Amino acid sequence: MQPLSIEQIGNELAIKWSDGVESFIPLERLRRHCPCAGCQGETDILGQLHKGPDVALSPEAFKLVRFVPVGGYAIQPFWADGHSSGLLSFDYLRKIAGS
C-alpha cells in the first residue's frame, strides 16, 4: 500500500492511502511504536531479545520536528528529543494506524 500524502496535523500524522483510506495516527502512538533496536530491542543469532531498561519518555519525545521519505517504502521521523533512528515502512504505518 502506498500513501498519496503524509502530513502532520496537530498531534497526529495524517496519511491518505492509494486505496482511498485515510489514517490519523497520534504522534504518541507513532513514537511508542518506533521499530528501532534502541526502542524495541535487538534479537541475537540465537533468537534471544536483548533490550535495555525501559526509559521514561519526556514530552519532547512526542513532538515531531519533521520527517523525510526513505526510498519509496518508508519515512524517517525526527523527534524533538533528538531521536531519529527508526524507519517506519508504509506497511508498518498502515498496521499501527489500525491498532
Residue 97 pLDDT exceeds 80: yes
Tell me the C-alpha distance between 18 and 64, whole Å. Answer: 24
pLDDT in tens, 69-80: 999 999 999 999
For all residues of the chain together, what is the average pLDDT?
93
CB-based contacts of 77, cutoff 8 Å, min separation 6: 30, 31, 34, 64, 66, 67, 84, 86, 88
Cell numbers 499501527: residue: 96
- pTM: predicted TM-score of the whole model, two decimal places: 0.89
The CATH number that applies at residue 32 is 3.30.2020.30
Domains identified in the chain, total number: 1
Q: What value does the CA radius of gyration of the chain take, rounded to a whole number of Å?
A: 14
The DSSP 8-state label assigned to residue 29 in this structure reads: H
34 in Cβ contact with 83 (< 8 Å) = yes
pLDDT in tens, 22-61: 999 999 999 999 999 888 888 889 988 888 788 889 999 9
Residue 30 structural domain = 3-97
